[in-house]
Structure 1
Amino acid sequence: MVATVGFLYPGHSAEDEFPRLEALLNEDGAEVRLPLTHTDIGTDAHRVDALLEMGSMDRLKAGLAELTAGHPVEAVVWACTSASFVYGYEGAQEQARQLSAAAGLPASSTSFAFARAIAALGVSRVAIAATYPEDVAALFADFLKATGVEVVAMRGSGIITAAEVGTWGRDEVARLAAEGDDPTAEAVLLPDTALHTVAWLPELEEALGKPVLTANQVTAWEGLRLLGHRPVCPALGRLFTRSAVS
């Protein structure tokens, strides 16, 4: 039976990661479908005011109506980190709860995907290598701390728009991960769904010698987790190996 998870993706930047994720998972026999609908983002800016508007329920519900009309999805994930953690831990919980209620399906967001992926790997100390400005990256650190995660290092890159992040390639991503790492961190997090990372996950982990969790990777994993699926796909990093636990 094919497992189908639907994603609400803000705007246009690295949405091509999801067909890649689907193809890699199915190559390893997972039998999954990962359809995606774009939401209207309003202003493309990593600013608190713009992010609060981007993650508003009116925008999410509009995208949800399109997603569920076109696909027989069994769970829904808001494929955005910044426009979920910007609400704080409790606010992000309420956002996911309202999304679930509107869909009549299990629902989550990329922020919670990171927290649950960290737990699945059995680590507790992480470094954040973010594309965001420092103040927005700090809000992600606060969110993770509220889940019991120890943030030992945080690096912001000052990038304002998702459109710019979406142009980054292998070299920029590798540099971001390396510069954001810390010797005491057990994993490195790259928390922007506008960032292309899926093609380089094993390479990033080999270079750093530790798990690397990236936004689109954990978003897909979280959606499948909602359906009780734990596919094994080494091409998608240590999170998708048998060593990761539920």
Structure 2
Amino acid sequence: MSHTPPPARLGFLYPGHAAEDDYPLMGSMIEPPAQITLIHTEFLEDAHTVEALSEMGSVSRLSKGAEALAGSGIESVMWTSTSASFVLGLDGIRQQIDTLEKLLGVPASTTAMAFARAVKAIDAKRVAIAATYPEEVAQRFRAFLNHFDIEVVHLASRGIITAAEVGLLEKDAVIEFALANVREEADALLMPDTALHSSAWLTDLEQAIGQPILTANQVSFWEALRLCGKLSPQSGLGSLFEHMPED
């Protein structure tokens, strides 16, 4: 008789409202289904600017969100904003992770760090980026990836200011944006915005572009499972979930 492992209990801190429904959807798509606890964090301004994102990802904002997760029984916690972690640099990300781990006593990470690990997990050396952000913020994502020796061969910026607007992009628009920015010399395409819906369309996206695709909510969910030791091969969530990391 085979033993079914207990479901993963995953915590997510998500700024505002945009594509947070990707997380319970992914939780229902894996076997066994994961238990998702998602807390919406607050911020002063919904804007993809360095100033607004720095405030959004501040220790005080994350600490308040963590308080709402205390006692929930989660096994790992993610700060699910790519830009409101990488704009703060590696030291800022480390502070975010340390804050969450100390407050909640479980492994923690951020979406930006999840991207770096996911790129390595699929053994991608060169990547293209299709970013919904304005140019200044998108360039900071490139700089973040450079710290991990990930070569960016193409970077596109869609220039959308608010997460709310990004969350309204539908399947056809997301696939079109991906297709416009896939590059033959790249090993994968990255779409770094947790406000962007993608989870229901990962198979269609990869089939359309003919390459592995890494999206923000996908890598966040993958990282949450990895952190608590419950990552296993899954179908329907892209090539990433077919590659198991060595550590």
User: For the superposition of Structure 1 and Structure 2, which TM-score range results when normalised by the shorter chain?
Assistant: over 0.9
Mapping of residues 1-246 of structure 1, within 5 Å? 1-25=6-30, 29-69=31-71, 71-241=72-242, 243-246=243-246
Which is worse superposed, 92-101 or 186-195? Answer: 92-101
Q: CA offset at residue 53 of structure 1?
A: 0.1
Q: Distance in 2 between matches of 1:160 and 1:185?
A: 27
Task: Give the structure-1-normalised TM-score.
Answer: 0.95
Q: CA offset at residue 68 of structure 1?
A: 2.2
Q: Distance in 2 between matches of 1:214 and 1:103?
A: 26
Runs of 4+ in 1 over 4 A off after TM superposition: none
Q: Distance in 2 between matches of 1:62 and 1:98?
A: 11
Q: CA offset at residue 172 of structure 1?
A: 1.1
Q: CA offset at residue 104 of structure 1?
A: 1.7
Alpha-carbon displacement from aligned partner over 1:196-233 (angstroms, at most 9, x marks no partner): 01111011111111100000010000001001122222
Q: CA offset at residue 103 of structure 1?
A: 1.7
Which is worse superposed, 218-227 or 90-99? Answer: 90-99
Q: Distance in 2 between matches of 1:90 and 1:177?
A: 31
Alpha-carbon displacement from aligned partner over 1:68-123 (angstroms, at most 9, x marks no partner): 24x21111100110000001123212221222122221100000000111111011
Which is worse superposed, 179-188 or 91-100? Answer: 91-100
Higher helix share: 1
Amino acid in the other structure paired with 2:97:
A
Amino acid in the other structure paired with 2:79:
W
Q: Secondary structure at the match of 1:73?
A: coil
Q: Distance in 2 between matches of 1:90 and 1:149?
A: 19
Q: Distance in 2 between matches of 1:131 and 1:149?
A: 20
Q: Secondary structure at the match of 2:132?
A: coil
| Contact 1:130–1:190 (8 Å) recurs in 2 | yes
Alpha-carbon displacement from aligned partner over 1:23-47 (angstroms, at most 9, x marks no partner): 101xxx2342121000002200000
Alpha-carbon displacement from aligned partner over 1:154-186 (angstroms, at most 9, x marks no partner): 001000000000000011101111122222110
| Contact 1:130–1:176 (8 Å) recurs in 2 | no
- Cα RMSD between the aligned structures? 1.1
Identical aligned pairs, as a percentage? 48
Q: Secondary structure at the match of 1:5?
A: strand
Q: Secondary structure at the match of 2:186?
A: coil
Task: Give the structure-2-normalised TM-score.
Answer: 0.94
Structure 2, unpaired ranges of 5+: 1-5
Q: CA offset at residue 195 of structure 1?
A: 0.4
Structure 1, unpaired ranges of 5+: none
